[in-house]
């Protein structure tokens, strides 16, 4: 098997050396070069183009965001942003994702060397996943960083239980996505009419990032889009996005649906986790729900979607041709949790049809 060729672009000699050591120890990866700024990197890359670029933001002569935009316009290549700036707020992270970054790793301002060494497994996972990204489906934005931690399942947040559902006419759409999801969600949500069923969404994102993302979507969509707060109502014409760093569950009180935002351990490497949301939707909405799993790395959401289907929900997966990373939908298919696969541009039609009382 051909090794994944990686170029490291960072003005810190320490970071370059540590990243070379961490990535170079993996038999599936070869580091073809390390440069102190994008202009040096471009010179090196002319001789051999990398499969993945690990890119800092603050650098001399050309900053990482400018370089990222240049790459996506001229030679789309999977880029993992590795920067301290993405942890200081949401602006830089949002700019990177909108410019086409495949994933984000936030470096600490202190203890950098030990952090990179301790997080080596997750760095390797992120780079390997980025190498599989379908760049033809990355126009101007892409995904969120994979959270780091031991892999747990949804039992740690919401134990599996029998689905005791009373009849209701209220309908709920649950969406789960990761890598490539910021762009994909914009495509889906911006196409929905104001009268649409209530939507709950988990997009794998860093903490403090989702509020800005939801605000941007709210400005371009007919429906209301907001970062979920505890006890927010799930109502027609509104989409609630789980806050970064928190799990979100659907709950029911009488005839009304609302969300519960909670702390808890990471599940399937993520918090929020799609499995946690989907399990709660299976439990409290059952056949009154539509589950949609979209572009993303890993398998978060696959088991939850199967639980939704077993509870009577209709389930949809984004097809491979339109995914940036065909990981989460593929795993859901393998588990038998998908009723049908559709193109990204058709998902809004499924939601509209579901809201009218049917499925396509």
Does some domain include residue 147?
Answer: no
Whether 148 is in a domain gets the answer no
Cβ(179)–Cβ(302) under 8 Å?
Answer: no
What values do phi and psi take at 293, rounded to 5? -115, 130
Are 110 and 158 found together in one domain?
A: no
Q: What is the CATH number of the domain that holds 280?
A: 3.40.50.180
Residue with tokens 């949804």: 154
Are 125 and 171 part of one and the same domain?
A: no
Say which of 204, 247, 258, 270 is annotated catalytic.
204
**Tally of structural domains, the chain:** 2
Domain range holding 51?
4-131
The active-site residue, picked from 56, 300, 314, 350, is 300
Tens of pLDDT along the chain (360 residues) come to: 689 999 999 998 988 998 898 898 899 999 999 999 999 999 999 999 999 999 998 887 888 888 998 899 889 999 998 887 655 445 777 788 888 888 888 776 667 677 777 777 888 888 998 998 888 887 543 333 333 334 456 665 566 655 444 445 579 999 999 989 999 999 999 999 999 999 999 999 877 789 989 999 999 999 999 999 999 999 999 999 999 999 999 998 766 899 999 988 889 888 899 999 999 999 999 999 999 999 998 899 999 999 999 999 999 999 999 999 999 999 999 999 999 999 999 999 999 999 988 664
- For residue 247, indicate whether it is catalytic: no
Contact in structure between 294 and 329 (CB atoms under 8 Å): yes
Q: Residue 119, Cβ neighbours under 10 Å: how many?
A: 17
Residue 146 included in any domain: no
Of these residues, 178, 196, 273, 280, which one is catalytic? 178
């Amino acid at each position: 098997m051909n090794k994944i060729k990686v170029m490291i672009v960072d003005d810190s000699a320490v970071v370059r050396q540590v990243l070379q050591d961490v990535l170079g120890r993996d038999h599936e990866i070869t580091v073809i070069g390390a440069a102190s700024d994008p202009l040096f990197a471009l010179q090196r890359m002319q001789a051999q183009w990398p499969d993945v670029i690990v890119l800092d933001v603050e650098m001399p002569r050309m900053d990482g965001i400018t370089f990222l935009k240049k790459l996506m316009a001229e030679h789309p290549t999977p880029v993992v942003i590795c920067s301290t700036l993405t942890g200081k707020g949401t602006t830089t992270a949002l700019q990177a994702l909108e410019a086409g970054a495949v994933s984000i790793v936030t470096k600490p301002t202190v203890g950098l060397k030990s952090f990179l060494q301790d997080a080596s497994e997750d760095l390797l996972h992120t780079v390997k996943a980025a190498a599989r990204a379908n760049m033809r489906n990355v126009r101007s934005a892409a995904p969120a960083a994979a959270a780091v931690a031991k892999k747990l399942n949804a039992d740690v947040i919401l134990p599996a239980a029998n689905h005791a559902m009373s009849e209701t006419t209220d309908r709920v759409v649950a969406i789960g996505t990761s890598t490539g999801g910021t762009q994909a969600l914009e495509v889906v949500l911006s196409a929905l009419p104001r009268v649409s069923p209530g939507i709950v969404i988990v997009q794998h994102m860093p903490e403090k990032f989702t509020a800005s993302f939801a605000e941007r979507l709210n400005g371009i969509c007919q429906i209301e889009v907001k970062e979920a707060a505890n006890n927010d109502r799930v109502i027609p014409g509104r989409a609630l996005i789980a806050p970064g760093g928190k799990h979100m569950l659907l709950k029911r009180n009488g005839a009304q649906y609302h969300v519960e935002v909670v702390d808890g351990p990471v599940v399937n490497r993520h918090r929020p986790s799609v499995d946690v949301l989907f399990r709660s939707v299976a439990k409290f909405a059952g056949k009154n729900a539509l589950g949609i799993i979209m572009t993303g790395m890993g398998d978060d959401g696959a088991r939850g979607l199967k639980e939704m289907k077993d509870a009577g929900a209709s389930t949809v997966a984004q097809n491979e041709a339109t995914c940036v990373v065909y990981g989460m939908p593929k795993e859901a298919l393998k588990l038998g949790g998908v009723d049908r696969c559709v193109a990204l541009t058709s998902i809004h039609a499924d939601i509209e049809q579901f809201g009218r009382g049917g499925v396509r």
